[in-house]
């Protein structure tokens, strides 16, 4: 992300420790971001319902509403703002919990300032790419095999007329694949483009998301015609459908 783009990005820091909140806000401002802060989960939820931002830096152990619950609530309400969890609970189980709650990345306290800023930039870069890639009316909608996906609304209608609410990750995977129809896209490439570098321990995660997309959009998920597996490499997406 360029400096100009960064300066436009608005972030919300949800942290109950006043020193840490102040330190994070000052550093984000120094990088050119606009920053708001909230000292607890309840105030953060109220703020996010009334305002929009490009990134939420979210502590997990917060008064009133904890970070995981807040993130789940946002996702259930259709709010797909990227979330970077920042917490003292850094074991792998908590990491997975955070990502399952709908978080985009997870950083354990104490952390290095540069790493924090790197992750913020990485999340914003991914979302900037997604927004740009869905900016025009042509690129915002994908039609294949009787399915119709609206990337901007994170909604879709499948071949049987069923309405589908896509998660941010499903939409991003679909977008990466749709950008390169007919080409082989490796699992590593999907991981890098959608999640970043070391967030997930395994490329199996990508496979699970592809299974979910097949269930949503394939007439026969066991014999896919659009989301094809290329054994040992990754996936190939076909708009017209193939065997």
Partner 1 sequence: MKRTRVFEITALLLVIVSVIQVGWWVYDQHDYSTQKLQDARSSYAREIAAAQALLAAGTPAEHVHELLPDVAIDDGRARSSGAVDAAFVAERHRRINQYAWESGFFLLALALCVGVIWRALRAETKVLQEQDSFLALVSHQFKTPLASLQLSLETMAKRQLTPEQSRTLMERMLADLTRMESMVSRILDSVRLERGRVDLKSEPVELAAAVGRVVTQFEERARQERIALTADVPRGLVVLADPLAVDVVVRNLLENALAAVAAVSGGSVTFTARAVNDEIELSVRDSGVGFRTTDSARLFKKFSRLHPGGGGSHNGTGLGLFIVRRLMQLTGGRVSAHSVGVGQGALFVLSWPAAPRQSV
> Residues in the site for partner 1, rule: CB under 8 A?
16-20, 22-24, 26-27, 30, 39-40, 61, 63-64, 88-89, 109-114
With respect to partner 1, which residue has the nearer C-beta, 23 or 241? 23
In the complex with partner 1, which residue's Cβ is closer, 32 or 241? Answer: 32
Alpha-carbon torsion, ordered 189, 195, 201, 207, to 10 deg? -60
Would you say 113 or 233 has its CB closer to partner 1?
113
Q: What are phi and psi of 152, to 5 degrees?
A: -75, -35
Rounded to the nearest angstrom, the gap between the alpha carbon of residue 110 and the centroid of all alpha carbons in its chain is: 24
Nearest distance in Å: CB 16, partner 1: 5
Question: Rounded to the nearest whole angstrom, what is the least distance from the CB of residue 10 to partner 1 in the complex?
Answer: 21
Task: Tell the smallest beta-carbon distance from residue 133 to partner 1 (Å).
Answer: 33
Which of 183, 83, 172, 166 is closest to 129 using CA atoms? 172
Nearest approach, Cβ of residue 113 and partner 1 (Å): 4
Q: Of 111, 120, 117, give the one whose Cα is nearest residue 89.
A: 111
Q: How far apart are CA 134 and CA 142, in angstroms?
A: 10
What does residue 189 show for φ and ψ, rounded to 5 degrees? -65, -45
Q: How far is the CB of 19 from partner 1 (least distance, A)?
A: 4
- Of 145, 65, 96, nearest to 56 (Cα)? 65
DSSP string, 75-112: HHTT----EEEEES--SHHHHHHHHHTT-SEEEESS--
Nearest to partner 1 of 107, 213 (CB atom): 107
Residue number with CB closer to partner 1 (109 or 125):
109
**Measured from the CB of residue 27, what is the shortest distance to partner 1 in angstroms?**
6
With the C-alpha atoms ordered 108, 120, 211, 164, is the resulting torsion angle positive or negative? positive
- By beta-carbon proximity to partner 1, the closer residue of 21 and 149 is 21
Taking the C-alpha atoms of residue 48 and residue 79, their distance in angstroms, rounded to an integer, is 9
């Amino acid at each position: 992300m360029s400096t100009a783009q960064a300066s436009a990005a608005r972030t919300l820091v949800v942290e109950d420790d006043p020193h840490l909140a102040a330190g994070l806000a000052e550093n984000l401002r120094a990088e050119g971001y606009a920053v708001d802060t909230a000292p607890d989960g309840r105030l953060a939820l109220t703020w996010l319902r009334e305002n929009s931002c490009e990134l939420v830096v979210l502590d997990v152990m917060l008064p009133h509403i904890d970070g995981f619950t807040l993130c789940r609530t946002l996702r259930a309400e259709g709010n797909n703002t990227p979330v970077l969890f920042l917490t003292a609970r850094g074991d792998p189980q908590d990491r997975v919990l955070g990502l399952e709650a709908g978080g985009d990345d997870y950083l354990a306290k104490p952390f290095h300032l540069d790493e924090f800023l790197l992750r913020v930039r990485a999340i914003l870069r991914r979302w900037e790419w997604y927004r740009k890639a869905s900016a025009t009316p042509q690129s915002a909608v994908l039609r294949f095999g009787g399915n119709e996906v609206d990337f901007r609304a994170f909604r879709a209608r499948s071949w049987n007329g069923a309405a589908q609410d896509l998660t941010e990750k499903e939409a991003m995977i679909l977008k990466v694949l749709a950008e390169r129809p007919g080409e082989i896209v490796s699992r590593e490439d999907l991981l890098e483009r959608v999640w970043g570098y070391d967030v997930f321990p395994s490329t199996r995660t990508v496979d699970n998301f592809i299974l979910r997309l097949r269930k949503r959009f394939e007439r026969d998920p066991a014999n896919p015609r659009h989301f094809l597996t290329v054994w040992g490499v990754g996936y190939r997406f076909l708009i017209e459908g193939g065997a």
